[in-house]
Structure 1
């Protein structure tokens, strides 16, 4: 169904054909809001000019729904609503905010199946991966519902007998939240959970490919009792997205910008935010090294690589991108990895049973992956597995394994964002560290070793914000997620995630003689 008839909801059409999770039928009963609407200032409304744009399933190109193509006029309404709501929300108690965040967590957990179906429909990832994302996303709401009551300040010993010094942390104000398509639920909850805990109000600008998850999140917030204006969703097409982002950055009523996405866009947002000198937190592109030393447990390393490299078809910012394998175990590692890829990676529609590798998000993504593989092969890389578009057509790409890759080939120079494992052989620890640190990116890095001294040395030497040692999956709500160099500014999750949404205020109380 392309357009929905009056009286039906936006999201019911998503699972009209694919409506089974683990054999249990799950219609989307819990998400009922008007078609062609977004959520601004506590109301479901259309774009002022009536514009809409389609949301498509990358697995088959089918139109799932139409959502408002908001302009800066609609954004103004969201900004004003969030700015007015902040006057009340900032004065709520930590316990009150904790209660609402916990209700949002509970509603997430009650609707895991429905929310996962939405993700698989608009992103394409296998259904079980979508279930994992909802559980992961909900964990941030749970974490910040507890952390909100620990936003402490300090009483500082004064050097003067007649003065007392206090440091307190206060919410910055309205937060502009710009999220990517690859984790359309978890990247919202990770930011909004911290912002609401701090006492901020939010304007969420979801990626144009995946707005339905954001609208479902808004519906949950509404049901949880979040006051009008505290959470707003501004959906827009690719055409209107630049102007929306620019206005969020330049508005004096928006106090902070939090963005997850490409380094190129992050730099533009940072530059545009300079005019108002607002806080900016950025989680940008990665080019993660994955180093396997001679002492490593090869099977364990292969298992970690499979988890890190091929999650969401290789479309995550912390995906392994540059695989460095030491000379003595290189051949055995390639052999084991080749077997694992052939046996474990089943390409198909994310709703189909047994599928572990879904489509890429769009044709542009396919073209980029195709270009990286072609560049590597033309420059001397050895193709072991895959290397071309999948026979299913559309946006599917074959799981690909390349060896004899050099650091001047595109799969090593740039983030591929696809199901391509590119391997380079190295000889010494120093060589591996030099190659790993040669990138301008510094988000995540992984290495496998059984030597304790080497583990300590390499963990300290590798220039990234997050290191997985003998582990390929490092993300959790308790972890401080973020990078260095051109991979971003600030941290999300953990007790440090709230710091992006508060300001430190120094109070000097005098006259105490």
Structure 2
């Protein structure tokens, strides 16, 4: 890809085939599927539609490359990842344009994702040479205990449509750093960014077969045989809890290592002593980033009754002036949702909240015209058992309920099966410590609406998943610990 931002020019440089064994190829059956622009509903381009045979060819390539890649010096792996980081940053405008075209997010959000996604390449380039073990004397003095780490082996990654670059880099970077080969099955709604990233990895010299990319419009028939094959040793998935649960059942038959980053329904807690301006700014960031189509999005806002009206009115005014439109246009604040199905789900949730007694302070109805647009929406007086408070919205809707006490809001926040992210706004640091210990989530944001960072472990508890991505913990998901016992004599 050249450094341009013209959409037509960017699209013309993106590979549209399968990346298998270091070669771009057509699907074995010759099939393709269309990629749509959610801002218009029009076709952007078509890409190869991988078949089960293509999936097995990708596994063949990954398995064939595994031994040599595992034996590659950590510094060499690190330098390749560093080079990929540099080239990704160099092509930031192109990648941002591409993400906006296929996913809809505003260019500002897309540029932020390039920075965030690229950082996993840099972070894990620095972790690759730091893989280590330990040496100690057994308590009885009869043995020397030696531990070492080795890569788990070929990995299958299944990524979602909402962060098409960051979800790829967050999985591929630690795997490559650890010495694992990979197969990436990107979401069928947004395969182009993954293919462009695959081209970057090819250009910087990642060896053939180490990264394979197989977009497909029929996931299970392609991924199912891969998951069942004994050569695969790791499965990582980001997406819904329902699909993750089904994949865990598949993975169990092959006793695969798994990482699951699943659904969320993040509680956003605003206490009576909170800085109101900071809470509103944090709510906007945690709610409207990516049009609310983020697993960490503030899904249910619990505000202390004493300040609930002030908070709701301030949030409404903050949202009121935002521009809704195609993400590709500079100045757009809120782009389209990914599909008509997703917009229909948001419409249903808001309608159910209205029927249950919620008041609409702003928005509340889909935008007419082409594309899948829904405006920033603020709901107040929302019953705590309304579906808009208990189901993941994945849209720019902020439902507000009130609470009276810390115990009450903890019970509300912990009352669902999911537990990915949570947010606390208060100036009482003792309360922060208490709530951080009691909130059943894997990520806690304190007086901020944006907490994801490549240097921090990302993952949930309960039905929100297993394992962690990012941080020093992230590379451990791709390593086996081996113990060697040596007589002390």
Q: What secondary structure is seen at the aligned counterpart in 1 of 2:215?
A: coil
Within 5 Å, which residues of 2 pair with 1:211-226?
Answer: 211-226=191-206
- Give the conservation status (yes or no) of the 8 Å contact 1:459–1:469: no
Within 5 Å, which residues of 2 pair with 1:481-500?
Answer: 481-500=458-477
Matched with 1:78 is 58
Taking a change above 3 Å as real, the CA distance of residues 124 and 32 of structure 1, as seen in their structure-2 partners, is closer
Within 5 Å, which residues of 2 pair with 1:387-466?
Answer: 387-466=364-443
Q: Distance in 1 between matches of 2:107 and 2:287?
A: 18
Q: Is 1:286 matched up with 2:258?
A: no
Matched with 2:28 is 48
Q: What whole-Å deviation, never above 9, does each CA across 1:35-86 have from its counterpart, x for those lacking one?
A: x412111000000110000111110112111111111100010001000100
Q: What whole-Å deviation, never above 9, does each CA across 1:160-202 have from its counterpart, x for those lacking one?
A: 5453211111100001011000000001001100000000000
| TM, length-normalised to structure 1 | 0.93
Q: Is 1:182 matched up with 2:162?
A: yes
Matched with 1:206 is 186
Q: Once the 2 structures are TM-superposed, how far is the Cα of residue 248 of structure 1 from its aligned partner? A: 2.8
Q: Once the 2 structures are TM-superposed, how far is the Cα of residue 249 of structure 1 from its aligned partner? A: 2.0
- Give the conservation status (yes or no) of the 8 Å contact 2:10–2:98: no
Within 5 Å, which residues of 2 pair with 1:123-272?
Answer: 123-237=103-217, 240-272=218-250
Q: Once the 2 structures are TM-superposed, how far is the Cα of residue 245 of structure 1 from its aligned partner? A: 2.8
- Give the conservation status (yes or no) of the 8 Å contact 2:302–2:401: yes
Q: What secondary structure is seen at the aligned counterpart in 1 of 2:194?
A: helix
Within 5 Å, which residues of 2 pair with 1:465-484?
Answer: 465-484=442-461
Q: What secondary structure is seen at the aligned counterpart in 1 of 2:316?
A: helix
Matched with 1:328 is 306
Q: Once the 2 structures are TM-superposed, how far is the Cα of residue 109 of structure 1 from its aligned partner? A: 0.9
Q: Quote the RMSD (CA, aligned, Å).
A: 1.5
Q: What secondary structure is seen at the aligned counterpart in 1 of 2:46?
A: strand
Q: Is 1:114 matched up with 2:91?
A: no
Q: Once the 2 structures are TM-superposed, how far is the Cα of residue 127 of structure 1 from its aligned partner? A: 0.6
Q: Distance in 2 between matches of 1:477 and 1:170?
A: 22
- Give the conservation status (yes or no) of the 8 Å contact 2:62–2:212: yes
Picking from 47, 57, 65, the partner of 1:67 is 47
Matched with 1:346 is 323
- Give the conservation status (yes or no) of the 8 Å contact 1:292–1:449: yes
Q: Distance in 1 between matches of 2:75 and 2:418?
A: 39
Matched with 1:311 is 289
Q: Once the 2 structures are TM-superposed, how far is the Cα of residue 203 of structure 1 from its aligned partner? A: 0.0
Q: Distance in 2 between matches of 1:276 and 1:32?
A: 35
Q: Is 1:371 matched up with 2:348?
A: yes
Q: What whole-Å deviation, never above 9, does each CA across 1:372-394 have from its counterpart, x for those lacking one?
A: 00100011111111111113443
Taking a change above 3 Å as real, the CA distance of residues 291 and 162 of structure 1, as seen in their structure-2 partners, is closer
User: Where does the alignment leave 5 or more consecutive residues of structure 2 unmatched?
Assistant: none
Matched with 1:3 is none
- Give the conservation status (yes or no) of the 8 Å contact 2:14–2:192: no
- Give the conservation status (yes or no) of the 8 Å contact 2:106–2:327: yes
Q: Once the 2 structures are TM-superposed, how far is the Cα of residue 128 of structure 1 from its aligned partner? A: 1.1
- Give the conservation status (yes or no) of the 8 Å contact 2:56–2:226: no
Q: Once the 2 structures are TM-superposed, how far is the Cα of residue 29 of structure 1 from its aligned partner? A: 9.7
Q: Once the 2 structures are TM-superposed, how far is the Cα of residue 336 of structure 1 from its aligned partner? A: 0.5
- Give the conservation status (yes or no) of the 8 Å contact 1:156–1:167: no
- Give the conservation status (yes or no) of the 8 Å contact 2:41–2:370: no
| TM, length-normalised to structure 2 | 0.97
Matched with 1:4 is none
User: Where does the alignment leave 5 or more consecutive residues of structure 1 unmatched?
Assistant: 1-10, 20-26
Q: What secondary structure is seen at the aligned counterpart in 2 of 1:254?
A: coil
- Give the conservation status (yes or no) of the 8 Å contact 1:381–1:404: yes
Picking from 234, 255, 258, the partner of 1:277 is 255
- Give the conservation status (yes or no) of the 8 Å contact 2:137–2:143: no
Q: What secondary structure is seen at the aligned counterpart in 2 of 1:28?
A: helix
- Give the conservation status (yes or no) of the 8 Å contact 2:114–2:165: yes
